[in-house]
Amino acid sequence: MNRTTPRSPQGRKASATPMINTETALKEAMTGIEGSLGVALVDYGSGMALGTLGGGKDLDLSVATAGNTDVVRAKVRTMDMLGLKDEIEDILITLGTQYHLIRLLKSRNSSGLFLYLALDKDRSNLAMARHQLRRIEGELDI
């Protein structure tokens, strides 16, 4: 039996995974990841948030995205200085009551971007959050 890859009307190969936009990705992270406090999609080249959702008086996402941009830049610079030819999958910052998860996006269209997720430590499952954030990254179409 001969199987062919489905194609879109424009003749491109159809994606096996449905693609989602930034707004949908942020909503999925906030509603689908237990314990989410805030989420952002950030361009670490410019430090600009392309979208945010959640946060509040105890979590200013503008401050968090700017600060985490510095974290990502410092880690990328350190890896370059060490000559490491590897990719950052994610960066975890563990606080007393929160986890802050930074996931660098790897697709061709999203290089230079990261997803930032703040979690309530008592209400979240870190392993599951990492898994779900990786799934959201895979479906995100920038």
Q: Who's near 61: CB < 8 A, 6+ residues apart?
A: 38, 40, 49, 52, 54, 55
Does this model's pTM top 0.85? My answer is no
Query: Residue written as tokens 């890859």?
Result: 5
* Residues comprising the chain, all counted: 142
Could you give the CA distance from residue 132 to residue 96 in angstroms, rounded to a whole number? 23
Q: What is the pLDDT along the chain (142 residues), one digit of tens a residue?
A: 444 444 444 444 444 567 889 999 999 999 999 999 999 999 998 989 999 999 988 899 999 999 999 999 999 999 999 999 898 999 999 999 999 999 999 865 657 899 999 999 999 999 999 999 999 998 988 7
pLDDT score of 4? 42
Could you give the CA distance from residue 44 to residue 131 in angstroms, rounded to a whole number? 22
